[in-house]
Structure 1
Amino acid sequence: METKEFNFKSFKVNGFLMLFLLLLMLGGTVFCFFGGNAGVIAGCFLALIWFVLLFGFVKLEPNEAVVMIFFGKYKGVLKETGFFWVNPFMSKKKLSMR
């Protein structure tokens, strides 16, 4: 039987770097709320983006894998151990490789 499994080669970022960037973005969001009417609008927009980006984190332990699906289309399997950030619109299904 032939399998069509392949490694996930798309965009992934170190999770700690992205966590730091999201904390900076949160600080900018709070700062915008004190900038008058235009600042409140910008702050709401940044808060919405921050909330969406928050769902892209993936933590993989040894002998685990994550199947990545982007709007119903298979994009690959992430098998590296670690803490990563990937596109938050991808569906992530954890699998045990034991």
Structure 2
Amino acid sequence: MERIQEIPTFKINGFAALVGIIAIASFGIWLGKGLVGFSNINDLFLYTNNLFGIGLVIVALVALKGFLTVQPNQALVLVFLGNYVGSVRTSGFWWVNPFASKQLVSLRVRNFNSDKLKVNDAKGNPIEIAAVVVWLSKIYNLWSTLVVVNYPNLLRRGWGFQFHGRMP
């Protein structure tokens, strides 16, 4: 099995990207204002400006899909055209590649409570035994997203405890 290395992805502060996208859309609207009837469409220069303005507005609208919010103790895994692009672990408002698919991974502390099991000790006294397992998925963040379909169920079956803190 190929070992998957987690890498941080390219991200921009969401507020700075929002200002840039608004500026691009405003410039595109300003260039495309000739479509409303303020200019003569027969002029080739104005016609190309109008088309360029429409293109800028479309680019700004597509770029809006790249905004995301990462909460504390969460990570986001980005996959572009089936290839792993990177992860965002820093909480905040970010802008990333709008064409990448984004999958949220919880890094919060999770609890697994086992059922009560009745056993007898050496003298024959009945004892009820139960276990509470507290676990984090920080080590398996990327692996749990790209390789395993149902990661919590995998740990519930006990298979995840064979690694002793290492990824296979």
Q: TM-score normalized by structure 1?
A: 0.85
Could you tell me how far 1:39 is from its partner in structure 2?
2.7
Q: How high is the sequence identity, in percent, across the aligned residues?
A: 34
CA RMSD of aligned residues (A): 2.0
The CA distance in 1 between the partners of 2:87 and 2:3, in whole Å, is 13
Q: What amino acid does structure 2 have at the position aligned with 1:61?
A: Q
After superposition, the Cα gap between the structure-2 partners of 1:31 and 1:7, relative to the gap in structure 1 and judged at 3 Å, is same
Q: Which runs of no fewer than 5 residues in structure 1 stay unpaired? A: none
Could you say what secondary structure the match of 2:33 adopts?
Answer: coil
Higher relative contact order, chain-length normalized (CA < 8 Å, sep 6+): 1
Across the two proteins, how many residue pairs are aligned to each other?
A: 97
Asked whether the 8 Å contact 1:66–1:77 carries over to 2, the reply is yes
| Larger Rg belongs to | 2
Q: Return the match for 1:93 from 100, 103, 111.
A: 103
- Residue segments in structure 2 that go unaligned for 5+ positions in a row: 40-46, 109-168
How far has the Cα of 1:38 moved from its partner?
A: 2.6
Partner residue, 1:47: 57
Provide TM-score, normalisation by structure 2.
0.52
1:29 is aligned to 2:28: yes
* Alpha-carbon distance between aligned partners in 1 of 2:87 and 2:11, rounded to the nearest angstrom: 12
Aligned in 2, Cα 1:85/1:79: closer, same or farther, shift over 3 Å?
A: same
TM superposition outliers: structure 1 runs of 4+ over 6 Å: none
Q: Write the letter of the residue equivalent to 2:30.
A: F
